[in-house]
Amino acid sequence: MPIGDFVSIRDFSPQQIEALLDLACHVKADPRSYRSTLAGQTLAMIFEKPSLRTRVTFDVGIHQLGGFALYLSPAEINLGKRESVYDVAHNLERMVQAVMIRTFAHALVEEFAGYAGIPVINGLTDFSHPCQALADYLTMFEVKGRVRGLKVAFIGDGNNVAHSLMFAGAQLGAHVLVATPPDFEPKAEAVAWARERAAQTGGSCGITHDPREAAGAADVIYTDTWTSMGQEQEAEQRRRVFQPYQVNASLFAEAQPDAIFMHCLPAHRGEEVTTEVMDSHRSVVFAQAENRLHAQKAIMLQVMEAGGEVGRKFAGRAEALTRAR
């Protein structure tokens, strides 16, 4: 069925996620066929956290689909402080066709989506990063030719990226193993959900404190910065705690001979990953960054054009995948 909001990977069936990846592949392969699909439509982009990739890929993406982007900074919005979430949602629903929000609290995006009568896209919260996860698994599929059965090792902080990587992996039948220092594990509710869904799709979700256990025979080694926005005061302590979790040549050698390296960026070279690994022929970080554009174009097509031809094709694809199971 067509989707409404895109707030969490958890909100959809495995078949819907597979169909969305399928659409992203088509959009990437034949962009000209979609260049006027969202003609005349506007996406409001609310940024309470800065970003290179989120800003560029949503802005460029909707323009390539025939629509327009409107950037709204914290000074103009300041959700819940300058103006209530309820009031902002009801203002924007009368002016634009969808809203993308990149913010701190996940509950804020959920609240906004509950009030707004237009689609809402989660561009990142402290709990999840679903657009990134969709781009990540699109990249894995392109390089590996499959997602089901892959061992995906996430090494570092059990953060929002780790959560969405687990959620999407569970939806798609991957084996995700997260290695973190003690007390930095993903949230228990995130792990519980991923394990329950993975049991239904043939995947798995595990947590370890041993980075070499996670990297062993992995098809994908993934890491992220040790200190996220809002945690700057913890940076020095985190560097000490996470040093054994650095992805370097020695750790990467534990993975499969054809393993790939992934990072959602921005990267702190010399901290969570060495330049040797980051710039190696096994690294796909820039292809991964590009795929944010294609994955998010697929998301925008589904939430903003769900009643049209693309939405009907998406619904048919998801239903066909359901029957095939």
pTM for this prediction: 0.93
User: Active site residue: 16, 163, 224, 238, which one?
Assistant: 224
Task: Map out the domains of the chain as residue ranges.
Answer: 9-129+292-308, 132-287
Which of 26, 53, 102, 238 does the annotation list as catalytic?
A: 102
Distance of alpha carbon 60 from its chain centroid, rounded? 18
Active site residue 238: no
Q: At 1, is the pLDDT very low, low, confident or very high (cuts 50, 70, 90)? A: very low
* 63 a catalytic residue: no
Catalytic residue among 26, 53, 106, 129: 129
| Residue 102 known to be catalytic | yes
Annotated catalytic residue within 175, 292, 294, 317: 292
Segment 32-61 shows an average pLDDT of 96
Instruction: Name the residue with tokens 């993934």.
Output: 222
What fold characterizes domain 9-129+292-308? Rossmann fold (3.40.50)
36 pLDDT band (50/70/90 cuts)? very high
H-type helices in the chain, by residue range?
14-29, 53-64, 85-92, 106-115, 130-144, 160-172, 188-201, 211-215, 235-242, 249-252, 275-278, 285-304, 309-324
Active site residue 132: yes
| 264 is annotated as an active-site residue | yes
Please determine, for residue 309, whether its predicted confidence score (pLDDT) is greater than 80: no
Per residue in 130-141, pLDDT (tens digit) is: 999 999 999 999
Choose, from 132, 171, 288, 296, the residue flagged as catalytic. 132
Domain 132-287: CATH superfamily, name plus number: Aspartate/ornithine carbamoyltransferase (3.40.50.1370)
Q: Would the pLDDT of 319 be above 90? A: no
Residue 176: which of 198, 193, 196, 157 has the closest Cα? 198
pLDDT of 290 above 60: yes
Q: Of the listed 264, 288, 294, 296, which one is catalytic?
A: 264
If 0-12 CB within 10 Å is exposed, 13-18 middle and 19+ buried, where does residue 190 land? Answer: buried
Q: Same CATH fold, 132-287 and 9-129+292-308? A: yes
Annotated catalytic residue 239:
no
